[in-house]
Structure 1
Amino acid sequence: MDHTTNTLPTSSLPTNTLPSLILVPGHWLGAWAWDGVASELRARGHAVTAVTLPGLDPDDPDRATRTLDDQAEALRQAVAAASADGSAVVLVAHSGAGVPVSLLLDQDPTAVSRVVYVDSGPSGDGSVFDADFPAEQADSELPPFDQLQASPDGVSEQDLRVFRERAVPQPGPVMRQVVHLTNDARRDVPSTIIACSFPSEVLMQMARAGNEMMAEVASLRDLELVDLPTGHWPMWSRPVELAATISTAAER
């Protein structure tokens, strides 16, 4: 069921009770990808920070050498800045951003009050995005959309063009780095998964069956599932509904 129709209005809540939100884009994307969602969330009273992960800044001369550890450290700094005034912080991770978020939670499971995974999920120990990614290849460019294992349903041709024009290649180290996780307390962090590409029921079936990308979901001990049917980039296909869903989840 699409839960966004039951979104509670935030106008009745004091602004200072709302958690700060850190929006983390997935592969090939920078903070710009969240523009529409960020403006909706600010209108709802949230303090919002959209980040560009290390390796995804086209002006960084060392972009292609950035690692998942660099990305997790950038998130740690973003959380520290957002919580400096005592605010609770909710991390919102789209797609591949679930990997550095998992590293951060392994290092400090108390860093945030909740994680919202947007068509994404946590990583498991020993996982790697592409174990066969060539050691000599510097980075990974955005492939043709028909070769991606991700649905562009609902995204306009104009938004797809902007995506193609602004996409930044994924750093090679991020593609081939093996994830090492040791802190079981990361599984206690309250989590919401916004299922877009396929229903949450199917997602959980995959998780329980040990699917390589979804298996860690089954280990989460405080999990909320919300369906928002669309393609893999709901920040463009359903930005208003996505913002409402994120806001509701953040206020749990």
Structure 2
Amino acid sequence: MTTHVVLVPGFWLGPWAWDEVAGPLRAAGLVPHAVDLPGLSPQSTPESRAAVTREDHLRAVQDVVTGLDGPVVLVGHSGGGALVGEVLDRVHAGVAHVVYVDSGPLVDGARLTPPGPGVGTEIPLPAWDELAAQGSSVDGIDDAGLARFRELAQPQPAAVATTPVQVADPARLDIPATAVCTSISARDLRAVASHDAPFHTELLDVRTLDWVDLPTGHWPMLSRPADLAGVLVDVARSVAPAA
């Protein structure tokens, strides 16, 4: 039976962000599906992004997952991890394992970005030094990679970030998960992750949780794609049904 790997990007990213991860997954016999989130394609406009809601992003991920036949490894990077956690509240069947890449599921009512007068209808990609100051460094990405990142990134639809997460079904926490720790070590994350600020995460509530350290910046699919793919292959092999 085919094992699928559904790849959900974080802020500003389209399916292109997973290009160098998808190849090794295919070579390992897996089928990757990089999710194209509404408003993040090069064809998007300020008007189209302003109309995108958090529900649109949740539906995009949910539609991919429910359309697959076979076990699914559901992967969320950064803000995509919060989407994955919320999708699990709606969809359990078929999802064999969840991978949070420098991310985690958020508690009910949490927001990725607080609403306020400084938040418009979209959130542009900040300068690299601003990202680093926010804890999202681009360490490990070479100059060509940074240029491609800047060229292909799209402003993030703000409503996706400012709308609170809604989760209620405790069964979401029964699905085994792996936390891939890149910009903070597993040891440090275990010490500080909580329902309270600044993380607002329920990561430590997951019943079965593995930890993997992959030291680099916040975007390992761009800085260490082969190593990230190796982690995902290992996870997929652990959930694949016996022949």
Common fold: TM-score over 0.5: yes
1:132, distance to aligned residue in structure 2 (A): 3.2
Matched to 1:38, the amino acid is A
Identity over the aligned pairs, expressed in percent?
42
1:46 aligns with 2:50: no
2:186 to 194, 197, 200: 200
1:119, distance to aligned residue in structure 2 (A): 0.9
The aligned counterpart of 1:69 is 55
- Output the TM-score relative to the length of structure 1: 0.87
1:55, distance to aligned residue in structure 2 (A): 2.2
1:74, distance to aligned residue in structure 2 (A): 0.9
- What runs of 5+ residues in structure 2 fail to find an aligned partner? 239-243
- What runs of 5+ residues in structure 1 fail to find an aligned partner? 1-15
1:59, distance to aligned residue in structure 2 (A): 1.7
The aligned counterpart of 1:4 is none
| C-alpha distance in structure 2 between counterparts of 1:215 and 1:75, whole Å | 20
1:138–1:172 Cα contact (<8 Å) kept: yes
Q: Match of 1:197, SS? A: coil
| C-alpha distance in structure 2 between counterparts of 1:204 and 1:211, whole Å | 15
Aligned length: 233
| C-alpha distance in structure 1 between counterparts of 2:94 and 2:127, whole Å | 37
Matched to 1:222, the amino acid is T
- Output the TM-score relative to the length of structure 2: 0.90
The aligned counterpart of 1:91 is 74
Cα deviation 1:228-252 (Å, max 9, x = unaligned): 1111111111111110111101222
| C-alpha distance in structure 2 between counterparts of 1:246 and 1:49, whole Å | 13
Cα deviation 1:95-124 (Å, max 9, x = unaligned): 110122122111123341111111111111
Q: Match of 1:113, SS? A: strand
1:136, distance to aligned residue in structure 2 (A): 7.0
| C-alpha distance in structure 2 between counterparts of 1:82 and 1:214, whole Å | 31
The aligned counterpart of 2:241 is none
1:119–1:193 Cα contact (<8 Å) kept: yes
1:65–1:172 Cα contact (<8 Å) kept: no
2:182–2:218 Cα contact (<8 Å) kept: yes
**Matches for 1:169-248 after TM superposition, within 5 Å:** 169-208=155-194, 210-213=196-199, 215-248=201-234
| C-alpha distance in structure 1 between counterparts of 2:28 and 2:237, whole Å | 12
1:64, distance to aligned residue in structure 2 (A): 2.5
1:209, distance to aligned residue in structure 2 (A): 8.0
| C-alpha distance in structure 2 between counterparts of 1:136 and 1:28, whole Å | 15
1:57–1:63 Cα contact (<8 Å) kept: no
Matched to 1:31, the amino acid is P
The aligned counterpart of 1:116 is 99
Sort the Cα spacing of 1:82 and 1:134 in 2 relative to 1 into closer, same or farther, 3 A.
farther
Matched to 2:3, the amino acid is P
Answer with 204-213 or 165-174: which moved more: 204-213
Answer with 210-219 or 175-184: which moved more: 210-219
Matched to 2:36, the amino acid is T
1:134, distance to aligned residue in structure 2 (A): 3.5
| C-alpha distance in structure 1 between counterparts of 2:200 and 2:188, whole Å | 11
